[in-house]
């Protein structure tokens, strides 16, 4: 009798697993294997090169730049979007005239295609007639090409990411804030506890699980969200906005150096795995779901 | 005391409106330039004449009708297959006992971390071997078995009381009948939530479609838009902005009409 249940279960799982294995597990394993081989060129087949691709990574100045950029990009976008998301949630959790409009303003970027809004932002940043330059003009400041000069390009790209994801994270904070028991607030008021103290000592610890969840998502996004780079800067100027995933794309599909791209993919997967394991252990210790 | 608190609140709220304005500014700016002649794209006067010419120009300069069709085919196909495959798998994980359950579920969770987007080099090679490069099917294939959907639906199915199973069995319901008549209807809110997330994700997805497509017949809107906006043929900003708004319009309108459902769905999908 239990045997039949087993077969039913396996049959139900079979179709999903065909696709999972074919497009996630096998490619992941194949990527690892490929990273130890050379790129086949024309009639020359791939040869086993051991750790050559990885050795090349160590000596690759553009990769070093891309890793540094990815770190800066993460260090900018993660705290900014998390703090803004919390601020937004605190702002729109109250009831007042126009709160629906404010909430909508914050959330709208979430549903817009990143590639499309990149066009709008590029227009925003455009030297001379872009809105930012026009505002600078009012103060007599000279024109700047924010997305086009190496000093500011990465910040210009990071600003779009924060704009895109903060409203999304706000939703999770809103739900968390609603779960803070009102009785606590009353008790704190009786004790003469100020609003700021209450927020710091009661609200903030209570919404810690959400902060962790949002932070992990922001971290994954920091390595995954590169669509706007394609429109805004293409990794330039002078590799100023070269991010790890974009570099994988460049090697894989612009230079067709698939072996090196495979090794870079492994690096990316390793980083994401560390983030994922970090989440797992942190969640185990201080977060209780449900 | 209350006076100070009130002032505090008013200041916070004013700050909130400034932030909201900044958040809406790109969209407002795009709307302004798309609906006015290009001479007004950087001159904000209320008497500027309104026009739809930019939309007409954009529509005429690139095959947007085809791109729309491609995207609609893509998101429909992906969602339909995802719902069928993932409901079956989630049902098995939620209600049946079988050897290898833990390992198999862990294999599903792997996909939450190693998203198909990241494995693009290898997936391209697979599509090449299958002869599927530059097809709409190839854009969708890596996303058909969504680890995320399996996880979400499994969580939902586990909350359904077991007594319903017994009742259905007594009524002579088969396993598939049980899934179809009890679990699918009760899991509908979760499926709707996943559906909205899936549609907006695939409507907006860019990197993988960019890699795997190279012709008008297969390109989705996002890739079509990027091709349109980066051809250096001196296309005016107003026209690019019109095209940008056009491609985002269906999702944006859907969001404005069903705001609550959208927000709830994203929330549900994220927290589980």
Shortest Cα distance from A3 to chain B (angstroms)?
Answer: 8
Shortest Cα distance from A112 to chain B (angstroms)?
Answer: 6
What's the CATH code of the domain at A97? 1.10.3720.10
A47 contacts: CB under 8 Å, gap ≥ 6: A37, A38
Q: Is the dihedral of CA A277, B148, A216, A234 positive or negative?
A: positive
β-partners of residue A37 are A48
DSSP A269: H
Tens digit of pLDDT for each residue in A256-283?
Answer: 888 999 999 999 999 988 887 877 676 6
User: What is the pLDDT at residue A196?
Assistant: 82
- CB atoms A24 and B141 under 8 Å: no
Residue that the structure tokens 């710091």 belong to: A200
CB atoms within 10 A of CB B232: 5
Pairs of CB atoms within 8 A across A/B: 254
B128 contacts: CB under 8 Å, gap ≥ 6: none
Question: Does the pLDDT at position A244 exceed 50?
Answer: yes
User: What is the pLDDT at residue B129?
Assistant: 92
Structure tokens of A48?
């086993």
User: What is the pLDDT at residue B25?
Assistant: 87
Which residues of chain B make contact with A80, given a CB cutoff of 8 A?
Answer: none
Strands of B49-201 (E only): list them: none
- CB atoms A12 and B203 under 8 Å: no
B62-269: CATH number: 1.10.3720.10
Domain boundaries, chain B: 2-55, 62-269
* Residues 231-290 of chain A whose Cβ lies under 8 A from any Cβ of chain B: 231, 245, 248-249, 252-253, 258, 261-262, 265, 268-269, 272-273, 276
Nearest to B145 among A20, A84, A245 (CB): A20
- CB atoms B27 and A108 under 8 Å: yes
Structure tokens of A56?
């090349």
pTM metric for this prediction: 0.85
Which residues of chain A make contact with B266, given a CB cutoff of 8 A?
Answer: 110, 168, 171
B116 in contact with chain A, both atoms CB, cutoff 8 A: yes
Query: Rounded to whole angstroms, how far apart are CA atoms B149 and B197?
Result: 10
Q: Is the dihedral of CA B153, B154, B160, B162 positive or negative?
A: positive
B56 in contact with chain A, both atoms CB, cutoff 8 A: no
A129 in contact with chain B, both atoms CB, cutoff 8 A: yes
Domain count, chain A: 1
Tens digit of pLDDT for each residue in A16-68?
Answer: 999 999 999 999 999 999 899 888 887 778 788 888 889 888 888 999 999 99
Which residue in chain A has the smallest CA separation from B211? A253
A123 in contact with chain B, both atoms CB, cutoff 8 A: yes
| Cis peptide upstream of residue B179 (ω within 30 degrees of 0) | no
Query: Rounded to whole angstroms, how far apart are CA atoms A264 and A252?
Result: 10
Longest dimension (CA), chain A: 83
In a domain, A288, yes or no: no
Listed residue (A222, A272, A249) closest to A69, CA to CA: A222
User: What is the pLDDT at residue A287?
Assistant: 47
Which stretches of chain B score pLDDT less than 50?
A: 1-2, 272
Which residues of chain B make contact with A172, given a CB cutoff of 8 A?
Answer: 267, 270-271
Question: Does the pLDDT at position A1 exceed 70?
Answer: no
Domain extent, residue A229, equals 52-282
**Within chain B, where are the H helices?**
2-34, 53-61, 64-95, 101-113, 120-130, 136-140, 147-158, 162-170, 175-178, 184-186, 188-204, 207-212, 221-230, 237-257, 259-271
User: What is the pLDDT at residue B116?
Assistant: 83
The 3-state DSSP class for residue B99 equals coil
Shortest Cα distance from B162 to chain A (angstroms)?
Answer: 16
- CB atoms A115 and B19 under 8 Å: no
* Residues 21-80 of chain A whose Cβ lies under 8 A from any Cβ of chain B: 22-28, 30-31, 34
Longest dimension (CA), chain B: 74
DSSP A44: B
Shortest Cα distance from B123 to chain A (angstroms)?
Answer: 6
Tell me what the pLDDT averaged over chain A comes to: 85
Tens digit of pLDDT for each residue in A121-179?
Answer: 888 887 777 778 878 878 878 777 777 788 888 999 999 999 999 988 898 888 888 88
In a domain, A127, yes or no: yes
ipTM of the shown complex = 0.84
User: What is the pLDDT at residue B231?
Assistant: 62
Shortest Cα distance from B63 to chain A (angstroms)?
Answer: 17
């Amino acid at each position: 009798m239990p045997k039949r249940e087993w077969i039913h279960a396996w049959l139900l799982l079979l179709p999903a697993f065909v696709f999972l294995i074919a497009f996630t597990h096998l490619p992941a394993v194949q990527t690892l294997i490929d990273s130890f081989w050379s790129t086949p060129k024309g009639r020359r087949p791939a040869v086993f090169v051991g750790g050559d691709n990885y050795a090349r990574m160590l000596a690759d100045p553009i990769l070093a730049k891309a890793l540094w950029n990815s770190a800066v990009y993460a260090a900018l976008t993660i705290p900014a979007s998390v703090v803004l998301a919390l601020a937004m949630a605190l702002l729109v959790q109250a009831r007042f005239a126009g709160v629906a409009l404010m909430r909508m303003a914050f959330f709208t970027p979430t549903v817009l295609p990143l590639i499309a809004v990149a066009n709008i932002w590029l227009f925003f940043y455009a030297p001379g007639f872009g809105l930012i330059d026009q505002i600078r003009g009012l103060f007599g400041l000279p024109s700047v090409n924010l997305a086009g000069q190496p000093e500011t390009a990465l910040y210009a790209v990071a600003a779009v990411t924060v704009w895109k994801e903060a409203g999304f994270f706000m939703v999770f904070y809103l739900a968390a804030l609603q779960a803070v028991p009102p009785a606590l607030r009353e008790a704190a008021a009786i004790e003469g506890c100020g609003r700021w103290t209450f927020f710091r000592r009661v609200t903030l610890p209570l919404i810690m699980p959400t902060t962790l969840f949002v932070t992990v998502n922001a971290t994954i996004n920091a390595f995954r969200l590169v669509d706007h780079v394609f429109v805004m800067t293409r990794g330039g100027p002078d590799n100023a906005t070269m991010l790890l995933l974009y570099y994988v794309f460049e090697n894989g599909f612009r230079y067709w150096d698939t072996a090196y791209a495979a090794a870079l993919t492994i690096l990316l997967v390793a980083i994401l795995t560390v983030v994922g394991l970090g989440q797992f252990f942190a969640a185990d210790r201080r977060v209780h779901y449900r | 005391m209350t006076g100070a608190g009130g002032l505090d609140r008013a200041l916070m709220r004013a700050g909130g409106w400034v932030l909201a304005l900044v958040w809406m500014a790109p969209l407002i700016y795009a709307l302004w330039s798309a609906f006015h002649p290009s001479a007004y794209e950087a001159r904000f006067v209320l008497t500027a004449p309104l026009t739809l010419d930019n939309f007409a120009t954009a529509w005429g300069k690139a095959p947007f009708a085809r791109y729309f069709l491609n995207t609609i085919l893509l998101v429909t196909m992906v969602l339909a297959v995802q719902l069928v495959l993932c409901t079956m798998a989630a049902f098995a994980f939620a209600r049946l006992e079988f050897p290898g359950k833990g390992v198999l579920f862990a294999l599903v969770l792997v996909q939450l971390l190693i998203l198909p987007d990241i494995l693009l080099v290898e997936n391209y090679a697979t599509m090449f071997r299958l002869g599927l490069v530059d097809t709409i099917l190839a854009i969708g294939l890596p996303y058909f078995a969504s680890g995320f959907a399996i996880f979400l639906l499994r969580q939902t199915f586990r909350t359904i009381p077991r007594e319903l199973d017994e009742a259905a069995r007594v009524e002579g319901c088969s396993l598939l009948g049980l899934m179809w008549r009890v679990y699918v209807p009760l899991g509908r809110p979760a499926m709707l939530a996943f559906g909205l997330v899936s549609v907006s994700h695939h409507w907006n997805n860019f990197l993988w479609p960019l890699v795997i497509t190279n012709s008008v017949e297969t390109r989705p809107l996002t890739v079509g838009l990027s091709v349109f906006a980066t051809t250096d043929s001196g296309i005016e900003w107003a026209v690019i902005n019109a095209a940008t708004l056009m491609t985002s319009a269906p999702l944006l309108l859907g969001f404005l009409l069903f705001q609550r459902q959208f927000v709830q769905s994203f929330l549900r999908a994220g927290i589980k």
